[in-house]
Amino acid sequence: MTTATYAKPMPDRVKDLVADTIGPLQHELLRDGPKAVATLARLRRGAGKQPHQVPDLLGLIDTGPLYDKTPDGRTPGEESLTRAEDAVHVAMTLWAMHQQSRSTGMHRPHRTDAPGGLGAAVRRLMEERDAEDAVRKRFVRIGTASELSILAQRLREIVVLLRDEGVPLDYALLARQLYQWQWPQGPETVRRAWGRSFHAYRDPKGDPTTEADGTSTDAPSNSDTTSKDDS
């Protein structure tokens, strides 16, 4: 008799789903693959909107892994599934906006030996734009969002600035945090993680293991990025 194997906990499933979806899509997009270009355009139209407001996106992302049984053998509940689907939607559509007109990948798994996530990206953005107060105010507004729809809109504002400066973001990690954010005490946990990565960020220039844009010369692939820093 074989023992059934079940999926990872939902936060990790959300993170892996986004990483596994964006990875090949971004690769094809940077090669100007027509299908990838069309998919990006459809996803971009959903940025800042709720899933039910964009019926064109129905079935565009394979969310099948979210429906697998939990590690203890139970079927995921309706509330958990809805929050997971919403987190994937927000992360994927924000990435599509971020990636628009960029010739390098704007989804970039962060190095496991360095702070990553939204806080670090915002800190780097402040340094790139030399507009500390304006960017900081937007970052603070993100932290005060009272519901996911408001959070998505405020993240959209930051993503536009990240795109303008070519600052990448780990969207798989963001998706995981967006799922966590929707649960009781979740906003506090996620805000704390964003704040820690913001304050821990250091300009990578001068580090011989990084390139000029701050990426590691031996950055891990999506499948290797399992750090729970900033989560």
**What's the confidence (pLDDT) of residue 8?**
87
Q: How far is CA 27 from the centre of its chain?
A: 17
| Cβ atoms 110, 116 nearer than 8 A | yes
State the burial class of residue 151 (Cβ atoms within 10 Å of its Cβ: 0-12, 13-18, 19+).
buried
DSSP at 202: -
Instruction: Report the pLDDT value the prediction gives residue 115, as an integer from 0 to 100.
Output: 63
* Interval 141-151: pLDDT, tens: 999 999 999 99
Low-confidence ranges of the chain (pLDDT < 50): 1-5, 206-231
Residue 98: the pLDDT is 97
**Residue 110, pLDDT score:** 78
Helices and strands in the chain: count of H runs, count of E runs: 8, 0
Give a three-class secondary structure readout of 135-175: HHHHHHHHHCCCCHHHHHHHHHHHHHHHHHHCCCECHHHHH
How far is residue 132 from each of residues 137, 145, 203, measured CA to CA in Å?
9, 21, 15
For residue 127, the model assigns a pLDDT of 87
pLDDT in the model for residue 138 = 93
Measured in degrees and rounded to the nearest 5, phi and psi for residue 183 equal: -100, 160
pLDDT score at 132? 78
| Contacts of residue 81, Cβ cutoff 8 Å, sequence gap at least 6 | 66, 67
pLDDT number for residue 52: 75
Phi, psi of 159 (to 5 degrees): -60, -35
Distance CA 125, CA 183 (A): 29
